[in-house]
Amino acid sequence: MSKAMSYEEAKERIQELRGFYSHLLVFVLGNSFLFVVNLLTSRGDWWFYWPLLGWGVGIVAHGSWVFWGRGLWGKSWEERKIRELMGDRAAEDDPTGP
């Protein structure tokens, strides 16, 4: 199998990246807005960091999936598991097997 991406794979990858960067932009804008609202409405009582923290976990998870998660459960993992399962099936169907 070639290391070069097909057009469809490249397009899928670009969509994943675009989705993450869109999520990151909304995160920054949304939490900036919440900070300003917090600053204007209740200066001594800081609550903006709670949604920042929760949403931040989502951003980290999304980024981990887009940038590092493909190796864990990406296409190569799927293909490897398919071959593994098909090999098991072939062994079950083999009348000369153990």
- Do residues 16 and 62 touch, judged by C-beta distance below 8 A? no
pTM exceeds 0.75: no
Q: Which of 8-22, 30-44, 57-71 has the lowest mean pLDDT?
A: 57-71
Residue, of 29 and 67, whose pLDDT is higher: 29
**Residue 23: is its pLDDT beyond 90?**
yes
Cβ-based neighbour number of residue 27 at 10 Å: 17
Q: Which token pair is 6?
A: 């097909």
Encoded amino acid at 70, one letter: R
Cβ-based neighbour number of residue 1 at 10 Å: 5
Cα–Cα distance for residue pair 34/26, rounded to 1 Å: 12
